[in-house]
Amino acid sequence: MKRIVFLVIFLIVFLFGASFALSNAQEVQLSYYFFQIDVKLPWVIFGSMCVGVALGVIAMVSIVVRLKHELSKKNKEVKVIEKEVANLRALPLKDKH
């Protein structure tokens, strides 16, 4: 069910993007310091989106690494606590009678 929903959403986005590209096929001129290039508008938008996604992924890498480090630290703490609980359960009960 989940795959079908993602497939439908992907197809809708793809069709929307394709119709946008077909209706805005004019060329634009990109100037960057020492060179100029003529590119179709949909390619400029697609390239800008790809650069944005790449920068977002790069920004998230540090957060993911930090969270993985915290998780491994917490897992080590849990193992120590579980070992301590096991040792406490192994102790014999003492009656005051």
For residues 46-71, give the mean pLDDT: 93
Query: Residue 94: pLDDT above 80?
Result: no
Q: Quote the CA–CA distance of 44 and 56 in Å, as a whole number.
A: 18
- pLDDT value for 91: 82
Q: Is the pLDDT of residue 58 over 90?
A: yes
- Determine the straight-line distance between the first and last CA of the chain, rounded to whole angstroms: 63
The DSSP element (H or E) to which 18 belongs, if any, is helix 2-23
pTM: 0.58
- Give the confidence band of 90 by pLDDT, cuts at 50, 70, 90: confident
